[in-house]
Amino acid sequence: MPIKNDLLLRTLAGEKTERTPVWLMRQAGRILPDYRKVRNSLSGFKELVETPALAAEVTIQPVDILEVDAAIIFSDILVIPEAMGLPYEMVEKRGPHFPSTVRSGADLDRLHVAEADGVQYTLDAIRETKKALDGRVPLIGFAGAPWTIFAYMVEGGGSKTFSKPRGMLYENPQLAHRLLQMITDSTINYLKGQVEAGADLVQVFDSWAGVLGPRTYEEFSVPYLRQICDALTDVPVTLFAKDAFFARKSLAELDCRTIGLDWCMDPVASREIVGPDKVLQGNLDPAVLYGTEEIIREETRKMLDAFGPVKHIANLGHGVYPDIDPEKVKIFIDEVKSYSSASR
Ligand code: CP3
């Protein structure tokens, strides 16, 4: 099916487009009253993730309401540990929790490499979303990076330091590598399944990249990201490694199309480090959206100027905060569209 609004795909192909494409990480979620309405009618977050018709509905909401240039499938990165045999709970107002964790070889022996159909509900949601979108905008699939998934599986939930997973890298590096490899194999199966179901591109979120240092990142994250990039030959891959300013050069050497930047990474300096080939995505500080309309427009223009007119996908530097007024998000999107088209 041809995509009607293919600005994002043409930007990924390196073309100079009539304006910069824009979408937001976490666009399908709590900022939208329409999302909260669906969500509140259910037993919880997981029911929404696991019900394809509803997941498709909330995936499309931001396309209708915010007029973004891409949809991102509604799911979560934590579906992979669950498909490997380590279930998660989403605790209201607190975040994810794993009743059991991986701390030993015996724990790891209870897990298995997930096949794509271990997350059948998300593959079905992708199929339903593609049908309902009817080619309006491209659909982004996603997964967590192996390091970030490992961090949750070993820690058992969120953490400021992720000391347990980091500790395992020194206590038992062989075990760490075995688990990272199992996660990587599962993630490749899952992302290939997403592409087969209709995802037009995929993004890998290394949200906890920044708790590693340059050396540990090279050993425990980069090689697994490389395997994912090498395995996904049919669609463009975006790597978003939050806080991993030190890894931009190594990520640029991988076979990915796009590198996502957080708001602490300077666009001009990042382009120098990454070189001319890759597309860059980002990176407005999500906190700018607490500002006035004037501030939002001004900061958005500064960001667009810093990235320049080609090989840029406008986004925030991380997910939109849940208490942001959707009207402020619309101002950001409107400014990207009007300013970038006027300056072509
Ligand atoms: O719109 C989109 O971006 C698509 C949907 C999406 C969700 N999670 C839905 C979600 C995506 C891409 C994710 C990815 C995800 N999940 C990441 C990587 C991105 C990042 O923010 O760094 C991470 C680290 C997770 C794990 C996770 N899921 C946490 C820590 C939490 C709890 C904290 C929070 O934000 O509430 C979740 C829950 C979650 N995932 C929600 C949504 C909309 C909120 C739950 C709810 O509606 O009750």
Residue 248 falls in the annotated catalytic set: no
What is the whole-number distance in angstroms between the Cα of residue 15 and the centre of ligand 1?
31
Determine contact, residues 283/228, Cβ cutoff 8 Å: no
Ligand 1 mutation pick, 24, 25, 26, max ligand atoms within 8 A of CB: 26
Ligand 1 contact, 121 CB (< 6 A):
no
Structural domains present in the chain: 7-283+311-319 (3.20.20.210)
Kindly state if the Cβ of 199 falls inside 6 Å of ligand 1: no
- DSSP letter string over 1-13? ---SS-HHHHHHT
Spot the catalytic one: 26, 36, 178, 301.
26
Residue nearest to atom 45 of ligand 1 (CA): 45
Q: Kindly state if the Cβ of 289 falls inside 6 Å of ligand 1.
A: no
Tokens of residue 276, six digits: 């001319």
The tens digit of pLDDT for each residue in 71-115 reads 999 999 999 999 999 999 999 889 999 999 999 999 999 999 999
The DSSP result for 281-302, as a single string, is EEEE-GGGGGS-HHHHHHHHHH
β-bridge mates for residue 258, sequence order: 238, 279
In the residue annotation, 26 being an active-site residue is answered as yes
C-beta of 224 in contact with ligand 1 (< 6 A): no
Which residue's CA is the nearest one to ligand 1's atom 21? 319
CB of 155 closer than 6 A to ligand 1? no
- Burial annotation 147-161 (CB, 10 A radius, 16+ → b, else e): bbbbbbbbbbeebee
- In whole angstroms, how far apart are CA 305 and each of 147, 267, 280, 290? 33, 9, 13, 21
Q: pLDDT in tens for each of the 344 residues of the chain?
A: 799 999 999 999 999 999 999 999 999 999 999 999 999 999 999 999 999 999 999 999 999 999 999 999 999 999 999 999 999 999 988 999 999 999 999 999 999 999 999 999 999 999 999 999 999 999 999 999 999 999 999 999 999 999 999 999 999 999 999 999 999 999 999 999 999 999 999 999 999 999 999 999 999 999 999 999 999 999 999 999 999 999 999 999 999 999 999 999 999 999 999 999 999 999 999 999 999 999 999 999 999 999 999 999 999 999 999 999 999 999 999 999 999 999 88
Whole-number Å distance, alpha carbon 142 to ligand 1 midpoint, is 12
Q: What is the pTM of this model?
A: 0.98
Report the residue count for the chain: 344
| Omega before residue 283 within 30° of 0, cis | yes
Cβ neighbours, 10 Å, residue 113: 17
3-class SS of residue 204: strand
How far is Cα 27 from Cα 14, in angstroms, rounded to an integer?
25
Pocket test for ligand 1, best of 22, 76, 91, 263 (most atoms within 8 A of CB): 76
Task: Select which of 76, 185, 200, 206 is catalytic.
Answer: 76
Residue 202 φ/ψ, nearest 5 degrees: -135, 150
Any catalytic annotation for residue 215? no
**What is residue 344's predicted lDDT score, i.e. its pLDDT?**
87
Q: Which of 30, 136, 226, 301 is catalytic?
A: 30
pLDDT in tens, 193-250: 999 999 999 999 999 999 999 999 999 999 999 999 999 999 999 999 999 999 999 9
pLDDT of residue 1: 79
Q: Is 76 in the pocket of ligand 1 (CB under 6 A)?
A: yes
Task: Name the token pair of 337.
Answer: 């569209």
- Cα(18) to ligand 1 centroid in Å equals 32
> Is the CB–ligand 1 distance for residue 149 below 6 Å?
no
Give yes or no for a contact between 81 and 187, defined as CB atoms under 8 angstroms apart. no
57 CA distance to ligand 1 middle (Å)? 17
Going from the Cα of 149 to the center of ligand 1, the distance in angstroms, rounded, reads 13
